[in-house]
């Protein structure tokens, strides 16, 4: 694993307390010995902080002593040069070895005051450099730390190399995000924590407890012999480090038995162990397509060799736990970074309300029992991504031997189609007497730009009357649409949507035609029926979209939008402020205010 740390001047704003230092210290302490790692700092130039080498106590000691060199004085953000420097020495294909490059940045490609030079560097990253990374088998993992980050660039680097992308909502979240990156790359062996208790067996020669806490919070450990250990009171053989946001406690030759952690229960708390008896698992792709059923495998190793003793395997069991990632679980979101909150558009002027998910999610977390294959001495099970649904998940693998447990944690994402359309019906009620068809359009953030959606939906009423709902150019995914309807019966919906990929190519998506049967009492009078607002009809838009249907649509849309704005009313976009007119703050070609260090 090789790491690139942004030290440009903008970090003074985005990381004013220099929390990159404790985040890197956490990684340094938890890196398993035997791995290979290196760390560089980059801004206008790239400098080595820890040369690539085998991770052992000496490497960790030297790296830890140098972490205070991390600063925020750089003038530029030369990501291209940083990547080139970090992959030096990876000249041949990786073979069976895993190669991981972790990139922390808070800005755009910024190599010069000349915007053309910045664009040229960015283009080289996406062409020559990206192809080289894929050829060398390097997985790029990105940690982003501001709203000014070039998210399309980060998404392409991570998705096309099979890496992981995660956004730290602020500098305080860096420690958690770097823990996640460590688990995606080096996969340290841990033991499960249940109710703040964990079991240590006599095969463990060292344990390291990572305990997160709020500002001012305190952590204590209770040993099996009921000794209370704290930062202020612990034996000489225990190393206790208190950092902003977490405690890191290392115990050599720990007492076997049940230990208890006194503090806040947190899903990111870990107990990393040094032991000859370890858990290993197959490399699950970071991103899976909905419908895939990859095989999960886990096995026990002794001195890095697979345990094959039949008498030991008979007493072992293995399980997998899958839990969703998200703020409700107290975690940093790893899902669709950069997407705006959902909004509603429609012809009516009633206040917008959030659209509920239209599909039924499975009950989570999901537990899977892994079955032992006696031929390979591995435990295995199939992961049903279709039942999980799209989103990001934490996968915890545990092998239980009765007197000992070993655990490893990783993350994965289930990706859907580039664009997905879901439908539901809303029948009249005392609070809202108007029936509506509810439509939710979502996009896969790793494939398309969330603010690039255009298109139309064609609705055919039971009477045969047709109307068109235009997707306005200001629409941003995910998008909720409410279409008021005037009469009960069967409605048919079809349409065409156009979006732009992260590589600025146009794609045309035609959702499967949908039929909805709305059963509600018909309005008593024609006047009552007329009270229900009608969806906006944009026949000119429909003509333009239907004539397109391919990449030439992009050329037609410009004229179409101009004509529509002159000849037709604009659909209401709820909860959205008008886009600012050009002028004022200087913006780059990606539409964002440029970050100059």
What DSSP element (H or E) covers 546?
helix 539-547
How far are the Cα atoms of 189, 207, 252 from residue 238, in angstroms, in the given order? Answer: 20, 10, 7
Confidence of residue 363 (pLDDT cuts 50, 70, 90): low
Partners of residue 249 on adjacent β-strands: 209, 240
* CATH 3.40.50.410 intervals, the chain: 2-185
Q: What mean pLDDT do residues 197-209 have?
A: 97
What's the pLDDT score for residue 416? 82
- What SS3 class is residue 131? helix
Report the predicted TM-score, pTM, of the whole model to 2 decimal places. 0.76
Confidence of residue 474 (pLDDT cuts 50, 70, 90): low
Confidence of residue 362 (pLDDT cuts 50, 70, 90): low
* Percent share of the chain, pLDDT over 90: 62
Q: What mean pLDDT do residues 357-379 have?
A: 79
Report the C-alpha gap between 4 and 104 in whole angstroms. Answer: 6
Dump pLDDT digits (tens) for 546-568.
444 444 444 434 434 443 333 33
How far are the Cα atoms of 295, 315, 371 from residue 380, in angstroms, in the given order? Answer: 7, 16, 5
Q: Are 238 and 206 in contact (CB under 8 A)?
A: no
Report the C-alpha gap between 43 and 75 in whole angstroms. Answer: 6
Backbone φ and ψ for 491, nearest 5 degrees, come out as -115, 140
Q: Which of 152-156, 206-210, 316-320, 590-594 has the lowest mean pLDDT?
A: 590-594
What DSSP state is assigned to residue 355?
Answer: P
Question: What ranges make up the beta strands (E) of 26-183?
Answer: 36-42, 46-54, 99-105, 138-144, 165-167
Partners of residue 367 on adjacent β-strands: 321
Mean pLDDT (the chain, rounded): 83
Residue 361's contacts (CB-CB under 8 Å, 6 or more residues apart) are 389
Q: Is the peptide bond before 306 cis (omega within 30 degrees of 0)?
A: no
How far out from the chain centre does Cα 403 lie?
Answer: 36
- What SS3 class is residue 241? strand
pLDDT above 50 (res 359) = no
Report the C-alpha gap between 120 and 583 in whole angstroms. Answer: 25
pLDDT above 70 (res 21) = yes
What's the pLDDT score for residue 348? 38
Q: Are 489 and 509 in contact (CB under 8 A)?
A: no
Specify the CATH number of the domain 281-333+356-413.
2.60.40
Q: Are 184 and 164 in contact (CB under 8 A)?
A: yes
What's the pLDDT score for residue 326? 66
Query: Would you state the torsion angle of the CA atoms of residues 422, 428, 434, 435, taken in this order, to the nearest 10 degrees?
Result: 30
Report the C-alpha gap between 460 and 467 in whole angstroms. Answer: 7
- What SS3 class is residue 91? coil
Neighbours of 545 (CB within 10 A): 26
What DSSP element (H or E) covers 420?
strand 419-426
Q: Are 394 and 409 in contact (CB under 8 A)?
A: yes
Strands 479-485 and 343-346: parallel
Q: Is the peptide bond before 365 cis (omega within 30 degrees of 0)?
A: yes
Dump pLDDT digits (tens) for 124-172.
999 999 999 999 999 999 999 988 899 999 999 999 999 999 999 889 9
User: Structurally, what CATH architecture does the domain formed by 419-532+537-570 represent?
Assistant: Sandwich (2.60)
**CATH 3.40.50.300 for domain 2-185:** no
Confidence of residue 443 (pLDDT cuts 50, 70, 90): confident
Strands 391-400 and 366-373: unpaired
Report the C-alpha gap between 245 and 178 in whole angstroms. Answer: 13
Q: Which of 30-34, 315-319, 335-339, 551-555 has the lowest mean pLDDT?
A: 335-339
Neighbours of 164 (CB within 10 A): 26
Confidence of residue 398 (pLDDT cuts 50, 70, 90): very high
Report the C-alpha gap between 28 and 325 in whole angstroms. Answer: 25
Q: What mean pLDDT do residues 565-585 have?
A: 34
Report the C-alpha gap between 209 and 297 in whole angstroms. Answer: 26
Inter-axis angle of helices 115-124 and 79-86, to 10 degrees? 30
Dump pLDDT digits (tens) for 322-351.
999 864 333 333 333 333 344 444 433 333
* CATH 2.60.40.10 intervals, the chain: 419-532+537-570
Dump pLDDT digits (tens) for 39-57.
999 999 999 999 999 999 9
**Start-to-end C-alpha separation, the chain:** 28
Q: What mean pLDDT do residues 253-257 have?
A: 97
Report the C-alpha gap between 334 and 326 in whole angstroms. Answer: 7
What's the pLDDT score for residue 284? 92
User: Could you tell me how many helices (H) and strands (E) the chain has, helices first?
Assistant: 13, 33
């Amino acid at each position: 694993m090789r790491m690139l740390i942004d030290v440009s001047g903008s970090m003074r704003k985005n990381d004013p307390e220099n929390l990159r230092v404790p985040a890197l210290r956490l990684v340094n302490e938890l890196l398993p010995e035997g791995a290979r790692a290196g760390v560089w700092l980059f801004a206008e130039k790239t400098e080595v902080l820890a040369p690539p080498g085998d991770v052992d106590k000496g490497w960790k000691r030297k790296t830890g002593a140098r972490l205070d060199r991390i600063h925020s004085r750089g003038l530029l953000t030369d990501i291209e040069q940083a990547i080139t420097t970090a992959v030096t020495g990876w000249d041949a294909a990786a073979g069976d070895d895993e190669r991981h490059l972790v990139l922390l940045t808070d800005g755009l490609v910024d190599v010069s005051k000349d915007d053309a030079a910045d664009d040229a560097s960015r283009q080289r990253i996406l062409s020559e450099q990206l192809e080289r990374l894929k050829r060398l088998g390097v997985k790029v993992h990105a940690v982003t730390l501001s709203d000014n980050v070039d998210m399309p660039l980060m998404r392409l680097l991570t998705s096309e190399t099979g890496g992981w992308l995660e956004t730290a909502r602020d500098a305080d979240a860096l420690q958690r995000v770097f823990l996640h990156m460590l688990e995606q790359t080096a996969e340290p062996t841990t033991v499960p924590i249940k109710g703040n208790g964990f079991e240590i067996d006599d095969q463990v020669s060292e344990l390291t407890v990572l305990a997160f806490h709020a500002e001012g919070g305190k952590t204590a450990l209770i040993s099996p012999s009921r000794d209370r250990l704290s930062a202020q009171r612990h034996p000489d053989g225990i190393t206790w480090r208190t950092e902003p946001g977490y405690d890191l406690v290392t115990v050599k030759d720990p007492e076997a038995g049940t230990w208890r952690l006194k503090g806040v229960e947190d899903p990111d708390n870990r107990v990393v162990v040094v032991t000859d008896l370890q858990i290993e698992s197959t490399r699950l792709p970071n991103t899976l397509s909905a419908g895939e059923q990859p095989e999960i495998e886990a096995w026990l190793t002794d001195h890095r060799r697979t345990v094959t003793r039949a008498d030991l395997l008979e007493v072992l069991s293995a399980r997998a736990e899958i839990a969703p990632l998200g703020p409700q679980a107290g975690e940093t979101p790893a899902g669709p970074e950069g997407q705006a909150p959902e909004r509603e558009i429609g012809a009516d002027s009633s206040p917008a309300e959030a659209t509920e998910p239209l599909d039924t999610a499975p009950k989570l977390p999901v537990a899977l029992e892994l079955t032992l294959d006696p031929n390979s001495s591995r435990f295995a099970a199939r992961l049903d991504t279709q039942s999980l649904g799209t989103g990001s998940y934490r996968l915890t693998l545990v092998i239980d031997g009765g007197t000992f447990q070993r655990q490893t944690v990783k993350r994965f994402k289930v990706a859907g189609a580039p664009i997905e359309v879901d439908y539901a019906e809303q029948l009249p009620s005392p609070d809202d007497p108007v029936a509506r068809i509810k439509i939710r359009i979502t996009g896969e953030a790793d494939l398309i730009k969330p603010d690039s959606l255009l298109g139309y939906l064609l609705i055919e009423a039971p009477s045969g009357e047709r109307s068109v709902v235009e997707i306005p150019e200001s629409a941003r995914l995910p998008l909720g649409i409410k279409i008021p309807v005037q009469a009960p019966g069967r409605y048919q919906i079809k349409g065409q949507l156009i979006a732009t990929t992260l590589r600025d190519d146009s794609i045309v998506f035609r959702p499967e035609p949908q039929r909805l049967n709305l059963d509600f009492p018909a309005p008593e009078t024609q006047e009552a029926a007329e009270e229900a607002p009608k969806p906006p009809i944009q026949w000119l838009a429909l003509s333009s979209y239907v004539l397109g249907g391919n990449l030439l649509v992009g050329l037609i849309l410009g004229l179409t939008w101009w004509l529509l704005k002159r000849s037709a009313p604009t659909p209401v976009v709820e909860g959205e402020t008008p886009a600012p007119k050009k002028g004022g703050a200087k913006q780059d070609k990606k539409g964002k205010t440029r970050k100059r260090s």
